[in-house]
Amino acid sequence: MIATEEPVGVPMLRMNNLQNDGWALGDLKYIELTPEELNKYKIVQGDILFNRTNSKELVGKCEVFKEEGDWVFASYLIRVRLDPSKALPEFVSAFLGTKAGRLQIDRVSRQIIGMSNVNAEELKALLIPFPSLNKQRDLVMDMESARAARQAKLSQADELLKGIDEFVLEQLGLKLPKEEKRATFAVRLNKVKQGRQDALYYAPYYEKLVSTLNKCKHPKVTLGEISPELIGGATPTRGDTELYAEDGIKFLRILNIAPNEIVLNGVNYIQDGVHSSELKRSQLSKNDVLMTITGRVGTSAVITEDILPANINQHIVRMRIQRESCLPEYLAVYLNTSIGIALSNRGVTGGTRIALDYEVIRKIQIPIPPIDTQKKIVSELQRRRAQARALREEAEREWQSAKEKFEKALLR
Residue 384, pLDDT > 80, answer yes
What proportion of the chain, given as a percentage, has pLDDT over 70? Answer: 92
Residue 358, pLDDT > 90, answer no
Residue 239, pLDDT > 60, answer no
Contact 399, 150 (CB under 8 A): yes
**289 within a domain of the structure (yes/no):** yes
Cα–Cα dist 359/124, whole Å: 56
What proportion of the chain, given as a percentage, has pLDDT over 90? Answer: 55
> How large is the average pLDDT for residues 95-111?
87
Residue 30, pLDDT > 70, answer yes
The domain boundary residue, chosen from 130, 164, 194 = 130
Same domain for 223 and 125: no
> How large is the average pLDDT for residues 56-66?
83
pLDDT top residue among 206 and 57: 206
Same domain for 356 and 226: yes
pLDDT of residue 326: 95
Same domain for 228 and 359: yes
User: Long-range contacts for 267-276 (Cβ within 8 Å, ≥24 apart)?
Assistant: 268/244, 269/244, 269/245, 270/236, 270/243, 270/244, 270/245, 270/311, 271/242, 271/243, 271/244, 271/245, 272/245, 272/248, 274/236, 274/243, 274/249, 275/249, 275/309, 275/311
Contact 180, 169 (CB under 8 A): no
Residue 202, pLDDT > 80, answer no
* Coil, strand or helix at 35: helix
pLDDT of residue 354: 72
Contact 109, 116 (CB under 8 A): yes
The domain boundary residue, chosen from 130, 161, 184 = 130
Domain that holds residue 44: 10-130
pLDDT of residue 82: 92
Most confidently modeled of 52-66, 112-126, 245-259, 280-294? 280-294
Residue 380, pLDDT > 70, answer yes
Same domain for 229 and 122: no
pLDDT of residue 225: 94
Helix axis angle for 133-172 and 371-411, nearest 10°, is 180
Residue 398, pLDDT > 80, answer yes
pLDDT of residue 350: 61
pLDDT of residue 192: 67
pLDDT category at 302 given cuts 50, 70, 90 is very high
**109 within a domain of the structure (yes/no):** yes
Lowest mean pLDDT among 15-24, 137-146, 271-280, 346-355: 346-355
Same domain for 120 and 241: no
The neighbouring-strand residues paired with 319 are 230, 289
**44 within a domain of the structure (yes/no):** yes
**387 within a domain of the structure (yes/no):** no
**183 within a domain of the structure (yes/no):** no
Backbone φ and ψ for 118, nearest 5 degrees, come out as: -135, 130
pLDDT top residue among 211 and 256: 256
Most confidently modeled of 7-11, 22-26, 56-60, 145-149? 145-149
* Coil, strand or helix at 286: coil
Chain Cα centroid distance, residue 204: 29
pLDDT of residue 288: 96
pLDDT of residue 238: 53
Characterize 143-177 residue by residue with b for buried, 16 or more Cβ atoms within 10 angstroms of its Cβ, and e for exposed: beebeeebeebbeebeebbeebbebbbebbebebb
**111 within a domain of the structure (yes/no):** yes
Same domain for 250 and 352: yes
The CATH number linked to 294 is: 3.90.220.20
Cα dihedral 350, 355, 356, 358 sign: negative
The mean pLDDT of the chain is: 87
pLDDT top residue among 318 and 191: 318
Same domain for 224 and 108: no
Burial of 189 (0-12, 13-18, 19+ CB in 10 A): exposed
The domain boundary residue, chosen from 69, 103, 130 = 130
Contact 143, 151 (CB under 8 A): no
pLDDT of residue 114: 57
pLDDT top residue among 274 and 372: 372
> How large is the average pLDDT for residues 155-168?
93
**175 within a domain of the structure (yes/no):** no
Residue 133, pLDDT > 90, answer yes
DSSP conformation class of 180: P
**53 within a domain of the structure (yes/no):** yes
Same domain for 328 and 230: yes
Look at the chain and report how many structural domains it folds into: 2
- With a CB cutoff of 8 Å and minimum separation 6, the contacts of 2 are 31
CA 14-20-21 angle, 5° bins? 110
pLDDT of residue 218: 94
Question: How does pLDDT run across 310-338, given as a tens digit for each residue?
Answer: 999 999 999 999 989 999 999 999 999 99
The CATH number linked to 50 is: 3.90.220
pLDDT of residue 7: 83
